[in-house]
Amino acid sequence: MASWDNQEVTDRHLLPYVDSATASPDVQAALQTLPFERNIFKLLANAESFFPSFMKTLSCAWSDKRTLRSSDWQLIVLRTASLLNAPYEWAVNEPVARIYGFDDEKLALIRAGNLTSPTIFTDRHRLLNDMVEQLVRENKVREKTMGQAKSVLGDSGVMEVMITQGLYALLARTMESARVDYDPPIPGLEDQLRGYNAAAIEKEKSFTD
């Protein structure tokens, strides 16, 4: 089971990992949505009727039509992982966050929930953090925060925050309930991520707030 301090694979997961080699064609294709497989998706694949559609929905996080920035997306995911005590979710997404410029100091502060530094975080970051914290702790975003979010992110951006946080909260609860194991090392992961996200990485360089 994944833990914050020990990445040893215990192989004590409570649901099986679906093998793409023996899965139905639809599930097999869905498991290949990303250029590498992850244990969390092999767990989700047990729900054969839901899994292909779920992966299509999740893949919208990489869409170039998305309103939210890639750095917004990663902040939402990492804060969700931290608040829901999901170390595997953090471990899977930390390499993605790093290609968007999240360094050791920034990651440590995000995990701790301390986004007060004006030199590391912006008001936009703090707004996103407020939304995630309120969703996790209060099951809703407060009306005042919604008003601020609409003015900064627009209606589309607000809805994308809600959907993104909800999807990754589902993933966090699934992986913790099923006692997911850490994945084996993926050779060349950073290069794969940079290639897969090349356009989004360039786009991030244009943002100053």
pLDDT in tens, 141-163: 999 999 999 999 999 999 999 99
In total, how many domains does the chain have? Answer: 2
The domain boundary, picked from 62, 80, 96, lies at 62
Residue 137 · residue 165 · CB < 8 Å = no
pLDDT tens by residue, 41-79: 999 999 999 999 999 999 998 888 999 999 999 999 999
Could you tell me which of 58, 57, 138 has the C-alpha nearest to residue 93? 58
* pLDDT of res. 209: 81
In terms of residue numbers, what domain contains 57?
16-62
Residue 121 lies in a domain: yes
Q: Are residues 185 and 127 in the same domain?
A: yes
Single-letter amino acid code for the residue at 82: S
Q: Are residues 161 and 199 in the same domain?
A: yes
Q: Are residues 20 and 78 in the same domain?
A: no
Question: How remote is the C-alpha of 193 from its chain's centroid?
Answer: 14
Q: Are residues 105 and 28 in the same domain?
A: no
Q: pTM here?
A: 0.94
pLDDT tens by residue, 101-111: 999 999 999 99
Single-letter amino acid code for the residue at 127: L
Residues in the chain: 209
Residue 151 lies in a domain: yes
Q: Are residues 164 and 118 in the same domain?
A: yes
- Whole-angstrom Cα distance, residue 171 to residue 82? 13
Residue 167 lies in a domain: yes
